[in-house]
Amino acid sequence: MAKQKKAKEPKPPKVRTRYSIGEWYGVGFETIPPADRFRLAKTEWDMDALTGTPCPFQPGAKCNKKSGVCSLRLYQQTGDGQVAGTGPVITTCPLRFLEADAIFHWVGEKLLQTTEPIVLSEVGFLDRLKPEESRVEDDEQDSRDFIGRIDNVLVHPSRDPLDWCALELQAVCFSGKSMRNEL
C-alpha cells in the first residue's frame, strides 16, 4: 500500500517590525501621502536651519527640532508588503511632553494627590562651592551659584508642611539626516 503525501501547509507570511516616525510636525506619519513625505524630507535635507513650522502642541511656538519628529511608532510589514502602525506613539520631543500641561496634572495626581500643582521651572539645584580667591575670568564664565537645574518642581497648592516633587523630562532627539532612510 502506497503512502499518501501530506499536503504542505502554506508558510505564514513573514512579518517585519521596526520603529519609525509616528508624528511628523504633529501629523500622523501614516496619513501623509508618499509624495508629500518626499517633498517634506527634501525640504528638511536641503535646509541648514529650522523650517519655522509651528509646533502643534505648544500654541504660539515654532518647532525647535531640525527633523520635526514628534514621536516614534512601531510598524509591521507583512509578507504582502503592507505596512501598518501597530503600537502607540512614543514621545521623542520634549515639547510634546508639555502638551496641555497633561504631564503636570498626571504627576501631581499620582504623587501629590492634586491635579492642579504649582509648577516651578528651571529650579537651581546644589550650591556651587567657590574658592575664596577666584579668578575674574572664572567668574565671567559661569556666574551661577548652583551646579544644575531641575526641569520642574511641582508643589501641592495647600499642604502644610510643604509637599513637593521634582520632575526631569528626558526625550530622544533625532536629526533630520538620521531619519533619511526611514522616509
Q: Is residue 65 part of a domain?
A: yes
Whether 162 shows a pLDDT value over 90: the answer reads yes
Average pLDDT, rounded, for the chain: 82
User: Same domain for 79 and 21?
Assistant: yes
Is there a single domain that holds both residue 48 and residue 84?
A: yes
| pLDDT score of 113 more than 80 | yes
Rounded average pLDDT over 52-80: 86
76 shares its domain with 116: no
pTM over the 0.85 mark = no
Structural domains in the chain (count) = 2
Interstrand relation of 146-155 and 164-167 (parallel, antiparallel or unpaired): antiparallel
E strands, the chain, are 16-24, 27-28, 69-77, 83-85, 90-91, 118-127, 146-155, 164-167
Amino acid identity of residue 78, one-letter, is T
3 is a domain residue:
no
Is the domain of 93 the same as that of 124? no
Q: How confident is the model at residue 1 (pLDDT cuts 50, 70, 90)?
A: low
Each residue's pLDDT tens digit, 163-175: 999 999 887 766 5
- Mean pLDDT computed over 92-100: 83
Q: Are residues 23 and 94 in the same domain?
A: yes
Q: Are 36 and 124 in the same domain?
A: no
Give the range of the structural domain holding residue 45, as residue numbers without chain letter: 16-98+171-182
The DSSP code for 128 is P
- What is the Cα–Cα distance from 106 to 119, expressed in whole angstroms? 12
The yes-or-no verdict on residue 39 having pLDDT over 60 is yes
